[in-house]
Amino acid sequence: MPTLLIKNGRIIDPASEHDAIADVLIRDGIIVEVRPNLTAAGAEVFDATGLIVAPGFIDMHVHLREPGFEHAETIESGARAAAAGGFTSICPMPNTSPVNDNATVTRYIVDEARRRAVVNVFPIGAITKGSGGEDLAAIGSMRAAGAVAISDDGRPVMNARVMRRAMEYARSFGIPVINHCEDLHLSAGGDMHEGSTSVRLGLRGIPGCSEDVMVARDILLAEVTGARYHVAHISARHSVEMVAFAKARGLNVTAEATPHHLLLADADMQPYDSNYKMKPPLRGTDDVNAVLEGVVSGAIDAIATDHAPHPGSEKMQEFERCPFGIIGLETALGIALEQLVHPGRISLPKMIALFTVNPARILGIQRGTLAAGAAGDVTIFSATRSWTYDVSRSLSKSHNSPFSGKTFQGGPCATVVAGEIVWRMDQ
């Protein structure tokens, strides 16, 4: 394996509270040393002058569509898009076909990723068989095969007793339970957030309370079971407040927010444009503010994209027939800088923590730091460079993004996985 020396960047490693100009030396896929004025004979040198050098970003919530929906995305193409977004580790949700509810599928994803993915792939297994919400999946075997968490993302467990057992069982294997919180009876048939915009457009609403009631239920169950519990893509004010309440009680409860929920409200949506259709939906302005406040206060621990590719043919339909979800890997950092760092809501090190050490801790994976001996995963980015996103040049197989044409201040420059540069910005 080659040796890589990253020179003169501003090293920000929230895990070790390191923030200074220095060099990073990676050999055999492992970080050897971080300090100024390093030299290494024969090493490939990356000049990071003026750039930020951070631990490799982790996206704990993506959809890679393989196996089963390879026309939308593959493990290989999703991993390339991840690298272009500055991510070195991604966690695919189990809603593939077949569902990742047993060790065979988990192993397939792990093996396929090892062969074809340019970034690390840590699969998330299903909570219940087929994500049907009834019988627990083979959680222990999936864990043994490499799954780092369980979730029935997109098809939340509606039966509270099943959820309780899942939390108890997951605790015996030390993995977190991640829930896409949506009471399916309250949200049934909805296409966008229930509010003035849905009423004006004549579209059926998904009320904020459909998220809140399930967050409330799960927090109560997390207390009863002592489970590690994580709220996926939190979007509603009361949900954020309840996660803060759970943390104040000392429960093992965490939450993630997507970049789009940090940036857009329902009123920002282009009418009937399915690139604005996702679950949870873009909520009201007050909810967007609550998510931003939650990131600032620490109620929200991580940023995750919920990268959800759909091919053009499925998004070119009547709004109510289009599937939910947008891609997000390549625009996440740009949005986080725009909404969190540039307006001064949080510091750059704190933003980096949302992408690195925090998700690593939630998942219990040995990533997210630049300490000597850690995996040689590094994200090199600019916090100021102006660039414009063009989705037609996306490395994802799907192009369903509302952010094409948007200009960002700051974005990824190079992505290093195990000491190898797997993506770098066009010069």
Partner 1 sequence: MNGLLGIATLGREEIQAILDRARDFQAPPGQGFRTFSSLAGRTLVNLFFEASTRTRTSFELAARRLGASAISITAQASSVSKGESLVDTLNTLAAMRPDAIIMRHSASGAPHFLQQHLEIPIINAGDGTHEHPTQALLDARTILDRGAKLEGLRVAIIGDIAHSRVARSNVHLLSKFGAQIVLCGPAPLLPSELVDLAPGVTLTTSMDEAIRDAGVIMMLRVQLERQHEAAFPADEYFQFYGLRLEHLKAARPEVIVMHPGPINRGREISSEVADSQKSAILNQVENGISVRMAVLERVLGGGMNANAAH
Burial of 10 (0-12, 13-18, 19+ CB in 10 A): middle
Q: Which stretch binds partner 1 (CB under 8 A): 36-44, 214-222, 315-323, 419-427?
A: 315-323
* Rounded distance between C-alpha atoms, residue 206 and residue 215, angstroms: 15
Check residue 405 for interaction with partner 1 (CB under 8 A): no
Check residue 281 for interaction with partner 1 (CB under 8 A): no
In degrees, to the nearest 5, what angle opens at C-alpha 393 toward C-alphas 392 and 395? 115
**Residue whose CB is less far from partner 1, 114 or 200:** 200
Check residue 316 for interaction with partner 1 (CB under 8 A): yes
Check residue 245 for interaction with partner 1 (CB under 8 A): no
Check residue 184 for interaction with partner 1 (CB under 8 A): no
Using CB under 8 A, pick the residue from 35, 114, 200, 393 that binds partner 1.
Answer: 200
Using CB under 8 A, pick the residue from 20, 199, 224, 296 that binds partner 1.
Answer: 199
Residues with active-site annotation: 306
Do the Cβ atoms of 88 and 119 come closer than 8 Å?
yes
**Residue whose CB is less far from partner 1, 272 or 324:** 272
Enter the tokens of residue 331: 């625009």
**Residue whose CB is less far from partner 1, 61 or 315:** 315
Q: Which stretch binds partner 1 (CB under 8 A): 208-216, 224-232, 316-324, 363-371?
A: 316-324
Nearest to 360 by CA among 222, 254, 246: 254
* Rounded distance between C-alpha atoms, residue 188 and residue 43, angstroms: 57
Query: Residue 15 corresponds to which amino acid?
Result: A
**Residue whose CB is less far from partner 1, 274 or 369:** 274
Measured from the Cβ of residue 366, the count of other Cβ atoms closer than 10 Å reads: 9
Using CB under 8 A, pick the residue from 319, 347, 385, 424 that binds partner 1.
Answer: 319
In degrees, to the nearest 5, what angle opens at C-alpha 301 toward C-alphas 299 and 304? 130
Q: How many CA atoms lie within 13 A of 412 on its CB side?
A: 29
Check residue 20 for interaction with partner 1 (CB under 8 A): no
Check residue 312 for interaction with partner 1 (CB under 8 A): no
**Residue whose CB is less far from partner 1, 199 or 371:** 199
Nearest to 284 by CA among 346, 242, 237: 237
| Cα 121 to the center of its chain, rounded Å | 12
Site size toward partner 1 (CB under 8 A) is 22
Check residue 188 for interaction with partner 1 (CB under 8 A): yes
Residues 255-274 as x/- pattern, contact with partner 1 by CB under 8 A: ----------------xx--
Check residue 285 for interaction with partner 1 (CB under 8 A): no
Nearest distance, CB of residue 224 and partner 1, angstroms: 32
Using CB under 8 A, pick the residue from 204, 350, 361, 406 that binds partner 1.
Answer: 204
Nearest distance, CB of residue 200 and partner 1, angstroms: 6
**Residue whose CB is less far from partner 1, 166 or 265:** 265
Query: Residue 129 corresponds to which amino acid?
Result: K
Q: Which stretch binds partner 1 (CB under 8 A): 60-68, 111-119, 202-210, 293-301?
A: 202-210
Check residue 317 for interaction with partner 1 (CB under 8 A): yes
Using CB under 8 A, pick the residue from 9, 85, 195, 309 that binds partner 1.
Answer: 195
* Rounded distance between C-alpha atoms, residue 153 and residue 149, angstroms: 11
**Residue whose CB is less far from partner 1, 207 or 294:** 207
Residue 73, classed as helix, strand or coil, is: coil
Q: Which stretch binds partner 1 (CB under 8 A): 57-65, 159-167, 192-200, 323-331?
A: 192-200
Helix (H) or strand (E) holding 83: helix 75-84
The bridge status of strand 302-303 relative to strand 253-257 is parallel
Nearest distance, CB of residue 203 and partner 1, angstroms: 5
In degrees, to the nearest 5, what angle opens at C-alpha 16 toward C-alphas 12 and 21? 35
* Integer angstrom CA distances of residue 400 from 65, 95, 387, 389, 396: 14, 18, 19, 13, 10
**Residue whose CB is less far from partner 1, 35 or 200:** 200
Measured from the Cβ of residue 313, the count of other Cβ atoms closer than 10 Å reads: 8
For the chain, the C-alpha Rg in angstroms (whole number) is 20
* Rounded distance between C-alpha atoms, residue 226 and residue 219, angstroms: 10
* Rounded distance between C-alpha atoms, residue 19 and residue 350, angstroms: 11
Using CB under 8 A, pick the residue from 318, 366, 392, 426 that binds partner 1.
Answer: 318
Q: Which stretch binds partner 1 (CB under 8 A): 139-147, 211-219, 298-306, 318-326?
A: 318-326
Report the interface residues with partner 1, using CB under 8 A. Answer: 188-189, 194-196, 198-205, 271-272, 313, 316-321
